[in-house]
Chain A
């Protein structure tokens, strides 16, 4: 703001000079906004390139379906107007023979065959064997030739599958991630119970996160209360017990729990020497071990937000309730506890969100029955290189996480949104 403008403002300048002042002010405000907005830009750009773009690309993989259109362009053109009710006409057979002959032995065909094999086991060999026996003898009819090679070419389902994968985008993977699929006619139906695994996995992921969260609340609440009500000297000292594990590597803590919980570990030895058990208990590489380690790792995430909320509650409220004749437990429940609910919700959601994405702890401390959604994302990436499935499972997991994160943000208010510019 220029000195002249200030002078005019102070002296109560007439209305014709007030307008330029207003514009000047607005311009200065806008400049400030741009200047400080520009400070956010480098980080935004950085995260866009290293974080948002990769995740976007991964999610796209869950709907991309380029394999069949690339390998069988003529067939798909011939099938364009097909009603999928009865076997297609002669021209579709001829186009398929042309496509398979053209792409014989190519990577394009192998990839497309692999893609269709995901939906119908046996399709890879159907395509590869047929292509190997092509081209047909001159003069042989395309349909008869194909049927002679494999009778599956005379089945409606075969052609429906090709037609269904004729477009560059598919909902196959996303549907499969929640145990649904499209039948021959294109209707969405529930997968066979024996083939349904993913809903169970997501339910398991939710359930295990819930158990861990409940334990963190049960164990974290009293500790946070103790820390918040002690003198700062004592509470700083006790805080070390919370912060030391918080800062210790997760792998150190996983290794420590293996040492403690294994068959010849300290806990089993202690229980045996006390005469409580005769045989060592199986405490690790099963669900108990995963729960114990996850609660241990996530407990600080519960205690710290609870502590900061409890620290802000004046003890006089509780005293007031007691002095008005309310029994201690009741006054605690009616007066103190409701005030801690924001901290409880924040800590609980944080623990729940983090445990939903857990991978390392179940992988090292659990049996196959303890693996959570993250494990299967990694599995489809590493073991079968099925990007579509990895991406679709990621999409479901990410959606669940983001919904909870949204609720969390609403509840806590993000770190900076509370700060009004000064």
Chain B
């Protein structure tokens, strides 16, 4: 809060700073909120003022083959890609936090590199290599590459969670006769679960929003929701796009709430553990 003895210029600065920050925060959310009402527009223009209320664009989304097909594809590709990224990423994170070896920094950098390599390069490269072996235009190819793109997020979040993990617990489990697999599933995994799940959510978000690799690798058969939106925006942008955007925004809110809940839960667990 502003202290009572603050000078006039300090007061002006204090309020100007807050107003400025408020405007920047509005800049971040307003575009997302502005598009939502337009999805209920009764005519086919994405322009205010709206001419009337209608659910016809949601009807178009839920009853047209193009959109339902794209939604179905996204719901096939993203979960499988997430599962692969979670399994590989979690195992590797445990390995990385437990041992030191020469070149570990390099290995880590390589495992995280799918996050920084321009995604067009990934798309072109995988198309080049996957097409001759029949993996382009297939669900398997798309899932594999989406998983590779999601892996860095799982590795970083799970590694961060493991920093606070007490390996004496695993030793205790082993000394009580648990084999490593049992110890992993009964001791390690439940404790790092928040990290694994948030990593998984990130990976899901990456795949669910991925369009560039899909442009190169998928045939029309595998068109995903973002891919369909891409052609929609490019060809004719109608309120149907706004309806899809609204649905995706609701989806984003749900993901965000889940993540916040997980974060709060692990924080509470940590504080209650240290209080004991």
Contact = CB atoms under 8 A, between A and B. Distances in A.
Given A40-B91, A260-B34, A360-B211, 14 more contacts: A39-B92, A46-B147, A50-B145, A61-B128, A219-B24, A251-B209, A256-B34, A256-B245, A266-B48, A299-B24, A354-B116, A414-B105, A415-B155, A419-B159
Given A33-B99, A241-B28, A259-B38, A43 B92 contact: yes
SS of B interface (majority):
helix
Contact of A405 (B47, B92, B113, B144): B113
A387 B19 CA distance: 51
Interface residues of B, number: 95
Nearest to A247: B252
Nearest to B248: A249
Contacts of B97: 416, 419, 421
Interface in A287-306: 296, 299-300
B110 A405 contact: no
Contacts of B244: 252
29 contacts: A32-B98, A33-B99, A39-B94, A42-B87, A47-B151, A51-B148, A55-B122, A57-B128, A58-B129, A222-B21, A244-B32, A251-B233, A252-B229, A256-B245, A259-B31, A259-B47, A260-B31, A262-B46, A264-B47, A296-B27, A363-B234, A378-B215, A394-B125, A398-B118, A405-B113, A406-B109, A408-B116, A420-B100, A421-B100
Contacts of A363: 234
Contacts of A406: 109
A245 interface: yes
A161 B110 CA distance: 40
B126 A255 contact: no
A360 B118 CA distance: 11
B34 A259 contact: yes
Given A374-B118, A416-B155, A421-B100, A241 B205 contact: no
A359 B120 contact: yes
Interface stretch (B57-65, B160-168, B268-276): B160-168
B262 interface: no
A419 B97 CA distance: 6
A274 interface: no
Interface string A309-338: 000000000000000000010000000000
B75 interface: no
Interface of A: 32-33, 36-40, 42-44, 46-47, 49-55, 57-58, 61, 219, 222-223, 226, 236, 238, 240-245, 247-260, 262, 264-266, 269, 296, 299-300, 328, 353-354, 356-357, 359-360, 363-364, 373-375, 377-378, 381, 387, 390, 394, 397-398, 401-402, 405-406, 408-409, 414-422
Nearest to A400: B118
Contacts of A40: 91-92, 95-96, 107, 111
Contact of A394 (B124, B126, B255): B124
Given A244-B256, A266-B48, A416 B32 contact: no
B88 interface: yes
Interface string B177-206: 000000000000000000000000000010
Contacts of A253: 31-32
B104 interface: yes
A256 B125 contact: no
Interface in B187-242: 205, 208-209, 211-212, 215-216, 226, 229-230, 233-234, 237, 241-242
Contact of B212 (A299, A328, A360): A360
A36 B99 contact: yes
Contacts of B112: 414-415
B35 interface: yes
Tell me what chain A mostly uses at the interface: helix, strand, loop, or mixed. helix
Contacts of B211: 250-251, 360
A356 B99 contact: no
Contacts of B229: 249, 251-252, 255
Contact of B237 (A54, A250, A258): A258
A387 B128 contact: yes
B249 A248 contact: yes
> Which of A43, A373, A414 has the largest number of chain B CB atoms within 10 A?
A43
B118 A356 contact: yes
Nearest to A328: B10
Contacts of A251: 209, 211, 226, 229-230, 233, 245, 248
Nearest to B49: A269
Contacts of B215: 378
A175 B126 CA distance: 24
Nearest to B26: A241
What 3 A-B pairs are tightest by C-beta distance, nearest first? Answer: A357-B118, A39-B95, A54-B125
A193 B234 CA distance: 33
A46 B114 CA distance: 12
